[in-house]
Structure 1
Amino acid sequence: MASITYDNACCVYPGADTLAVDRLNLDITDGEFVVLVGPSGSGKSTALRMLAGLEEIDSGQIRIGGDNMVGVAPKDRDIAMVFQNYALYPNKTVGENMGFALKMRGIGTEERKQKVAEAARLLDLTDYLDRKPAKLSGGQRQRVAMGRAIVREPQVFCMDEPLSNLDAKLRVQTRTQIAALQRRLGTTTVYVTHDQVEAMTMGDRVAVLKNGALQQFATPADLYDRPVNAFVAGFIGSPAMNLFTAPVTDGTITIAGSTVDLDNEAQGLLHKSGLTHVIVGIRPEHLAIGRDNGINADVALLEELGSESYVYAEVKDPTITTLDGDPVTLVARSPHRAPAKLGDAIRLHQADRAVHLFDPTSGNRLV
């Protein structure tokens, strides 16, 4: 096991005008589970492949256990990779797949069997060691790929979207197993996903990337409670945070006849900033649904989830727009079923003062 350091690490693909990974700086501690998350093209998989030695580092450094990995071959980095497509040998049994890397390293049969048996026990694969991959479910195949990495006892696990090929229910089950297993083994792990729910539920810390650049590296709670900019605010959370641009008048923000309730710090900042517009962020759970007082809106969509509902309501106020300039639809979470009907006129009011403000030009957090 070892710590990992990205020190201004850059990668640019031949013929490209922009960096795939742009001066990435991360300090990952020994035994930590870190998730790289971002939309398609954000550079997360490239950053992982740089760590594994599958992509060249064009400038900067990546260090594992304090040793600079620039110029070090992948086989010499003591890293085990788990891929999205399992990459199992179809003509070999589960046991043979898991022990193949050990066999190539010249490890004896008995020791190999012992390591495979121990990994199979951890992964509940003991009864499947003699089966071929074609006779396994998707989740079992992914566990075999995990087992193949575990038997090597590497100092770092690299996982590149390992759950993308699984159905929704199996994905939830398997991500819980992976997170529990990593904590049991204590091996430093870098995990790539585009699914922010996976990132929030699995990682000790999460690195959010956009266009090759690191936006924020923090615990899931910090990302959710204090996003550093509007991009992170909109990316982290499901449903996403309500983000819209609103005018500022005398240090106050008014939406469809309702004044946004701000704490003293936010009010003071707006008074001093001189901004005429600001990006406002309110999470769905911080909006309550009523008939009296609050933001005037019409119900456009209802999502019934059984234990709760999400109400999508169109706001009739031309002075506020989405970040793309479109009319605003606010999402509110209701702990009750069917709190309104389609087309109903409702009022949305703040459940508390959990309002996020961002600079309209840079998108950076104001308060």
Structure 2
Amino acid sequence: MAEISYNKASCVYEGADKLAVDSLDLEIEDGEFVVLVGPSGSGKSTALRMLAGLEEIDGGTISINGKNMVGVPSKDRDIAMVFQNYALYPNKTVGENMGFALKMRGVPEAERKQKVAEAAKVLDLTEFLDRKPGKLSGGQRQRVAMGRAIVREPQVFCMDEPLSNLDAKLRVQTRTQIAALQRRLGTTTVYVTHDQVEAMTMGDRVAVLKFGKLQQFSSPTELYDRPVNAFVAGFIGSPAMNLFTVPVADDGVRIGGVTLPLERSDVSAIAAAGVKTVTVGLRPEQLGLGSGGDGIPAQVDLVEELGSESYLYAHLNDSSVTGLDGGPVALVARSAVRKPAKFGDSITLKKLDGPVHLFHPETGDRIE
């Protein structure tokens, strides 16, 4: 088991004018499952590769159990890596693939077979040990790659988007297996993904990165309920949080020609920030269809039917309200009613129970 510490860890690629990872600070506890998430180019895979010794640490340090890893070769870090592509030997059986690293370390054959058998039992691969990878499904191949890492009994698992090559149904199934397996083994795990749903459902804590900088490192519920800035608010959640910049009124904010009232504490926080406009964030489940013209006027662009619920995508015609990109505002509302509206309908949206998230219109930082 291992504790991991990123202390102002930085990495820059040759010829680049910006840091790929910029002064990253993370404290990962022994046995914790931590997910690094962010859009493409955010530095999450680079941060993982720095930990694994596959990229140079150009500034700061990374420590495992208090030992500085700067300059330590990858093979001496006691880390097992699981990649996006399975990297299996096609001419070897499942059992031979899983035990190959042990063979290279000179582990006796009897001990190798025992460790492979134990890992195969955990991963439900026992009946496939004599098959070649070409005879397996994508999910089974990924489990073989997991098994190869498990038999080594490393102090840290590093997983770089291991589910990206799987179809949607298999991804859901495999991610639950990986999360359950990590809980059973208790091995410290750092997992990289661009899929925020994966991050929210798998991680004990999630680190959100943007342009190489850490935005927030918290539990999934904390990220969802109290995002530190507008970027995290818009990235975490599916569908994404509704974010729009609106003028401030005496007791709330003006949107679509109506006033959205705010709590007294929120009004005071806006006043203390000294802004005339504010970026407001509302989750889709906090917006519902109004009745009798009571609410925010909008026009339906799309209705997504999901069976148990529907999502309404609509736009405002109010030019005083802008999205984060300065363009028209598009709103998403969740409805428990099937076919609540159709394309082109004029509707009103009302605010339902739940907090209103407020962010500075220029810096994007949370106002509270």
TM bracket, shorter-chain basis: over 0.9
State the distance in 2 between where 1:62 and 1:275 align.
40
Q: Which residue matches 1:165?
A: 165
State the distance in 2 between where 1:351 and 1:142 align.
43
Q: Is the 8 A contact 2:206 2:217 kept in 1?
A: yes
Q: Is the 8 A contact 1:251 1:270 kept in 2?
A: no
Report deviation, 1:256.
1.2
Report deviation, 1:316.
1.7
Q: Larger deviation: 282-291 or 31-40?
A: 282-291
Q: Is the 8 A contact 1:159 1:192 kept in 2?
A: yes
Q: Does 1:141 align with 2:136?
A: no
Q: Which residue matches 1:43?
A: 43
Q: Which residue matches 2:115?
A: 115
State the distance in 2 between where 1:355 and 1:285 align.
12
1:68-87 per-position Cα deviation (integer Å, ceiling 9, x unaligned): 00010000000000000000
Q: Which residue matches 2:261?
A: 261
Report deviation, 1:250.
3.1
Report deviation, 1:325.
1.2
- Give aligned pairs, total: 367
TM-score, normalising length: structure 1: 0.99
State the distance in 1 between where 2:340 and 2:250 align.
35
1:254-282 per-position Cα deviation (integer Å, ceiling 9, x unaligned): 11132213112101112333211111100
Report deviation, 1:252.
2.5
Q: Is the 8 A contact 2:82 2:146 kept in 1?
A: yes
Q: Which residue matches 2:304?
A: 303
Gaps of 5+ in 2: none
Q: Is the 8 A contact 2:48 2:160 kept in 1?
A: yes
Q: Is the 8 A contact 2:299 2:316 kept in 1?
A: yes
Q: Which residue matches 1:361?
A: 362
The RMSD of aligned alpha carbons is 0.8
1:28-55 per-position Cα deviation (integer Å, ceiling 9, x unaligned): 0000000000000000000000000000
Matched to 2:253, the amino acid is I
Runs of 4+ in 1 over 6 A off after TM superposition: none
State the distance in 2 between where 1:217 and 1:203 align.
11
Q: Does 1:337 align with 2:338?
A: yes
Q: Which residue matches 1:9?
A: 9
Q: Which residue matches 2:314?
A: 313
Report deviation, 1:169.
0.2
Matched to 2:244, the amino acid is F
Matched to 2:166, the amino acid is L
State the distance in 2 between where 1:320 and 1:33 align.
40
Q: Which residue matches 2:195?
A: 195
Report deviation, 1:353.
4.4
Identical positions, percent: 74
Report deviation, 1:290.
2.2
Q: Which residue matches 1:76?
A: 76
State the distance in 2 between where 1:254 and 1:101 align.
63
Report deviation, 1:111.
0.5
State the distance in 2 between where 1:219 and 1:272 align.
29
1:125-159 per-position Cα deviation (integer Å, ceiling 9, x unaligned): 00000000000000000000000000000000000
Q: Is the 8 A contact 2:273 2:367 kept in 1?
A: no
1:98-120 per-position Cα deviation (integer Å, ceiling 9, x unaligned): 00000000000110000000000
